């Protein structure tokens, strides 16, 4: 992985960065956002989908697990407890059998599945880390080589 972006960000910066990142996203592609609760995962996901032309963003899919959009899907792994639930929800086929832009939240709760995607998922692969300390928000975006 190589560093695509890193730095302190404002809300406006996040919007600009999401717009820049959206230019690199093809179908299929996967974007994995990791951050503590309330750090802006769903906000950044919304910015990405809006930059790709989605006008009906449904918010965080915490309770529905997956929200589908035209040419994309937004997934939240927070409520899933076991890898069996990931399989039962049909999540792997989103990555391997469909040509979508997929944004995930809380995938870091399933490090083996994340590693499988890193190794085998087709298309661009981005890992995004958002950290918050007081009023300061930092963003780190890494892209898989190749």
Topology adopted by domain 2-143: Rossmann fold (3.40.50)
Name the pTM for this structure.
Answer: 0.93
pLDDT digits (tens, 9 = 90+) for 4-55: 999 999 999 999 999 999 999 999 999 999 999 999 999 999 999 999 998 7
Q: How far apart are CA 23 and CA 5, in angstroms?
A: 14
What residues does each domain of the chain span?
Answer: 2-143
Residue 65 and residue 79 in contact, taking contact as beta carbons nearer than 8 Å: yes
pLDDT digits (tens, 9 = 90+) for 102-126: 999 999 999 999 999 999 999 999 9
pLDDT digits (tens, 9 = 90+) for 53-81: 987 777 777 778 999 988 899 999 999 99
**Sequence-ordered alpha helix ranges (H) in 37-81:** 41-51
Q: How far is CA 15 from CA 18, 21, 47, 88, 116, in A?
A: 5, 10, 6, 34, 29
A 10 A CB-CB count for 138 gives: 14
């Amino acid at each position: 992985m190589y560093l695509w972006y890193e730095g302190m960000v404002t809300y406006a910066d996040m919007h600009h960065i999401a717009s820049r990142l959206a230019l690199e996203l093809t179908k299929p592609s996967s974007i994995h956002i990791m951050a503590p609760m309330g750090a802006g995962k769903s906000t950044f996901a919304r910015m990405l989908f809006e930059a790709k032309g989605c006008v009906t963003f449904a918010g965080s899919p915490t309770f529905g697990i997956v929200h589908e959009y035209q040419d994309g899907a937004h997934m939240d792994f927070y409520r899933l407890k076991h890898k069996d639930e990931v399989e039962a929800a049909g999540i792997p086929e989103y990555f391997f059998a469909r040509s979508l832009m997929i944004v995930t939240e809380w995938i870091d709760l399933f490090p083996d599945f994340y590693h499988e995607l890193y190794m085998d998922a087709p298309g661009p692969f981005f890992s995004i880390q958002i950290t918050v300390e007081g009023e300061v928000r930092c963003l780190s975006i890494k892209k898989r080589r190749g």
